[in-house]
A and B are shown apart, each in its own frame.
Chain A
Amino acid sequence: MCGIVGLLVKNQKMRTNIGSLMLPMLIGMTERGPDSAGLAIFGQPVADDERKFNLYTSDMDFNWQKLSHDFLTHLGSKVVNFTQKANHAVLTTHLEPTTVKTWLKEHYPQVHLLSIGQLMDIYKDVGTPAQVAERYGFEQMSGSHLVGHTRMATESAVTPAHAHPFTAGQDWCLVHNGSLSNAHNLRRKLNHEGIQFETDNDTEAACRYLEWRMREGDDLKTALEHGFDALDGFYTLLMGTKDQLALVRDPFACKPAIVAEHDDYVAIASEFRSLAHLPDIKNAKVFEPSPQEMYVWKV
């Protein structure tokens, strides 16, 4: 099954509360996805020459302080910022992504690099949406837009790495409700382009395909048009970029989606029960997105 949620807050004042607005949306999708949950949230950007590296380990007692200290000692680079919650940390630095990746692989292979970007942070783990939200403090988070997911695994294992959102490149993420029938073909095609995969999850193939299209020069809409031809299967895909949310459904509309557009926000979910609590929802324009159409909302 799986549940998806998305929220883009237009009202500047409400952006500090985006986490608390979103939390009931995510928890509302627990029945659709009780085994894992995740969130990608877009907040204030770091400086132009800085990048945020979101790190994850399954070890709850991991010594993050030592990692931060070793990073400084080995690379001689100042860590601009280091924040940590449970088994997740965000490391902000001037260093090149490849340098950080290589260093992590060599010294901390048990630490998984979740994402790289200037605005986006990604949190995901196994557990119910309420447990995962509590672990990372989703309720207290602020930002302009976000994408969330609750997972009921069907085609690959229940592990933190298989949880959504998936990401590729920088400040780009995707969540998926459905199943792709040509994920392996897509993966082989992308392997020929030199693209590496981290899991055997079908969603990762869609995520890396679209990110690859955009690196090849497509804008988001063109990439999605290519996606309609390239992706075979059932899907509702919700995507986040540094300044946009985008939604598409397969031509058979096999997987649900509902949208509420309000003066203060745009909210997207698999079902209305995740939107019902939103402020002044009665005056929002609620509609079901059509199959094989692109919906894009700008921050």
Chain B
Amino acid sequence: MESLKYNLDVTPLRELNQFLHSNPSELDGKTIEISNPNGAHNIAVGLKADVNVTIQGHAGYYAAGMNQIAHVVIEGSAGSGVAENMMSGRVHVKGFASNAAGATSQGGLLIIDGDAGLRCAIALKGADVVVGGSVGSFTAFMAQAGNLVVLGNAGDALGDSIYEANIFVRGSVKSLGSDCIEKPMDEERRQILVDLLAKSGHASISPECFKRFGSARTLYNFKVDNAGAY
């Protein structure tokens, strides 16, 4: 497989991103290594090709945002909004991630080996997010679809105003948000969890250690009691 190296101490980030936005047929199957990311913002955003990108250090805001198809590995930590609005593909953060990781993501898989900050998977719209550590407060706020797996603990107001996304937490939950409740682990959800643990390198962890949380469906459904208000 062809491997290309970019050193962001030498090459301007815009030049790298423009290369990554070239015709997908020219990029397909390539491996791209990015050294000295040094916390720069917007590294490898908007990818649309079947490429493997490795960021060899700490990334700044919005790394691998809007990702499609591509596989991106961040060997250090990621700033706010990593893999935000991802459509497909896979983003793997080996360190920790700051706030709003995977926000509004519609597809693909986001793996964070360390902790994630606040508002992780906020407004999740269909992607899968697996966090090896703990997540901060307001995680999965208004999450609509998709799955979030947390191997550590969750902060305050988990799943506040959640729609039909699934949340699986192995550790403790400091508090649940409005309309978020613990739900029974049915076979369908159990299988989702088993698959995600396998895909994210945690196959040895038993799904039995997890609790499942989801929507009580009292906030977003039309209630006949309210008919007079309209």
Please report A residues at the B interface, Cβ cutoff 8 Å. 251-253, 256, 271-277, 286-288, 290-291
CB-based contact A286/B58 at 8 Å: yes
CB-based contact B98/A273 at 8 Å: no
For B96, what are the chain A residues with a Cβ–Cβ distance below 8 Å?
287-288
CB-based contact A273/B40 at 8 Å: yes
For A276, what are the chain B residues with a Cβ–Cβ distance below 8 Å?
36, 38-39, 57-58
Task: Select which of A253, A271, A277, A286 is within 8 A of B136 by beta carbon.
Answer: A253
CB-based contact B99/A272 at 8 Å: no
For A253, what are the chain B residues with a Cβ–Cβ distance below 8 Å?
99, 117-118, 136
Do A256 and B77 contact each other (CB < 8 Å), given the known contacts A276-B39, A291-B118, A291-B136? no
CB-based contact B118/A272 at 8 Å: no
A272-B77, A288-B96 given; 18 more Cβ-contact pairs under 8 Å: A251-B137, A253-B99, A253-B117, A256-B79, A256-B98, A271-B60, A272-B38, A272-B58, A272-B79, A273-B38, A276-B36, A276-B38, A276-B39, A276-B57, A286-B95, A288-B117, A291-B118, A291-B136
For A286, what are the chain B residues with a Cβ–Cβ distance below 8 Å?
58, 76-77, 95
Q: Which of B39-69 contact A (CB under 8 A)?
A: 39-40, 57-58, 60-61
Q: How far is the CA of A291 from the CA of B118 in the complex (A)?
A: 9
Do A273 and B136 contact each other (CB < 8 Å), given the known contacts A252-B118, A288-B98, A288-B117? no
Q: How many Å from the CB of A53 to the closest CB on chain B?
A: 38
Chain B's interface size range is: 20 to 34
- State whether the Cβ of B139 lies closer than 8 Å to any Cβ in chain A: no
Mind listing 17 A-B residue pairs with CB under 8 Å? Answer: A252-B118, A253-B99, A256-B99, A271-B39, A271-B60, A271-B61, A272-B39, A272-B77, A272-B79, A273-B40, A276-B36, A276-B39, A286-B95, A288-B77, A288-B98, A288-B117, A291-B137
- As a 0/1 sequence over residues 132 to 153 of chain B, the CB contacts with chain A under 8 angstroms (1 = contact) are 0000111000000000000000
CB-based contact B118/A271 at 8 Å: no
Question: Which residue of chain A lies nearest to B9 when distances are taken between CB atoms in the complex?
Answer: A276
- B interface majority secondary structure: loop
Please report B residues at the A interface, Cβ cutoff 8 Å. 36, 38-40, 57-58, 60-61, 76-77, 79-80, 95-96, 98-99, 117-118, 136-138
CB-based contact A271/B99 at 8 Å: no
For B80, what are the chain A residues with a Cβ–Cβ distance below 8 Å?
256
CB-based contact B39/A275 at 8 Å: yes
For A288, what are the chain B residues with a Cβ–Cβ distance below 8 Å?
77, 96, 98, 117
For B77, what are the chain A residues with a Cβ–Cβ distance below 8 Å?
272, 286, 288
Question: Which residue of chain B lies nearest to A290 when distances are taken between CB atoms in the complex?
Answer: B136
Q: How far is the CA of A273 from the CA of B37 in the complex (A)?
A: 9
Q: How far is the CA of A271 from the CA of B77 in the complex (A)?
A: 11
Q: How far is the CA of A277 from the CA of B58 in the complex (A)?
A: 12
Q: How far is the CA of A288 from the CA of B80 in the complex (A)?
A: 11
Q: How far is the CA of A286 from the CA of B94 in the complex (A)?
A: 13
Kindly list the 3 A-B residue pairs having the minimum CB-CB distance in the complex, ordered from nearest: A272-B39, A276-B38, A273-B39
Question: Which residue of chain B lies nearest to A287 when distances are taken between CB atoms in the complex?
Answer: B96
Q: How many Å from the CB of B213 to the closest CB on chain A?
A: 21
